[in-house]
Amino acid sequence: MTQVKQVEATESVQKIIQILEEDGCIVLKNAMDSTQLNKLKAELEPHMAQTPNCNGDFYGHKTKRIGSLIEKSSVCCDLAIKPVLLSVMDEFLLRSCKSYQLNLTQAIQIGPGEPQQMMHPDDPMFPVALETGEKMINCMWAIDDFTDENGATHLVPGSHKWEREGLLPERVPEKDDITKGEMPAGSVLIYFGSLLHCGGANTTAAPRTGLVVSYCLGWLRQSENQYLAVSQKTTRTLPQRLQELMGYFVHKPNLGQVEGRDPRELLLGNQIVNSGFEEFLPEEVQPYIEEHKKRLEAA
């Protein structure tokens, strides 16, 4: 059985990328410090306390999930733009888009007695085959220690390379293919959207809480609707990079504009209604434009 490889969060991006290429998953240890971890717990706790269990055969019946975490947690905001993770996303997601975005933020608390979730890849939410690479990548932050007993995410390293039949891997993993993403609290498990995985069974008396921040190609629909999940009041206070990741950007050419303008202009309070369209064109279009102009001149 291939174990999930673990490195320190300070490991070189090159090494992390190399492991991800091979296995489709990796654990970065000590990716947040104890101050962040304690604050994150305190931020999530009141929301968890008032949230009922999910009621779904996929989401679970003894599992709680909460979203809109950019609104609810300042630590989540910091984690979402952690440089090493964005470097990983640059490497894999920019193969298939001009800019990528947040796919979702979700805290998952697997309660005592929850059985193992169904094995699955996450990327069939985007029902299109793509030759160029990953459509989405997950970062699962361990808020508790993730152990074999409390429901550490199960993973099938290497399954991102398996042939697909339609949108799903053509074969079901054997027991030996499956490993557990055990990791100490404060670690982050990165796993590809195409990798087979699932929440583990929690056979302990205590819940297992993780925070998923996932990223997807910039021209796809986001799983979590950030424009409605996070108020404009909060969004205005966030760092520009995070606003962009939430979806306040234009994916070239011209995807996501408002009145022909970058949606961030709305956050900045600019008067953009009827104030003139701008065009957002990728560099590779420029030669065609030049050729067109030349033709017009010659005519």
Ligand X SMILES: O=C(O)CCC(=O)C(=O)O
What is the smallest separation between the CB atom of 116 and Fe ion, expressed in angstroms? 12
Of the residues 147, 153, 202, 222, which one makes contact with ligand X according to CB under 6 A: 153
Question: Is there binding between residue 121 and ligand X (CB under 6 A)?
Answer: no
For residue 182, the partner it binds in ligand X, Fe ion, none, with Cβ less than 5 to 8 A by kind, is none
- Judged by CB under 6 A, the stretch of 5-13, 93-101, 196-204, 227-235 that binds ligand X is 196-204
In DSSP notation, the chain reads -PPPPEEETTS-HHHHHHHHHHHSEEEEET-S-HHHHHHHHHHHHHHHHTPPPP-BTTTBSSEEEE--HHHH-HHHHHHHT-HHHHHHHHHHHTTS-SSEEEEEEEEEEEPTT--PPPPB-SGGGS-S--SSS-SEEEEEEESS-B-TTTTPPEE-TTGGGS-EETTEESSPPPGGG-EE--B-TT-EEEEETTS-EEPPP--SSS-EEEEEEEEEETTSPPSS-HHHHS-HHHHHTS-HHHHHHHT-S-BTTTBS-BTTB-THHHHTT---TTS-------GGGHHHHHHHHHHHHH-
The contact mask relative to ligand X for 206-245 (x = CB under 6 A, - = no) is ----x-----------------------------------
What is the smallest separation between the CB atom of 200 and ligand X, expressed in angstroms? 7
- Judged by CB under 5 A, the stretch of 24-32, 58-66, 118-126, 157-165 that binds Fe ion is 118-126
What is the smallest separation between the CB atom of 153 and Fe ion, expressed in angstroms? 8
Residue number, 169 or 263, with CB nearest to ligand X: 169
- Judged by CB under 5 A, the stretch of 119-127, 157-165, 204-212, 259-267 that binds Fe ion is 119-127
For residue 155, the partner it binds in Fe ion, ligand X, none, with Cβ less than 5 to 8 A by kind, is none
Residue number, 197 or 252, with CB nearest to ligand X: 197
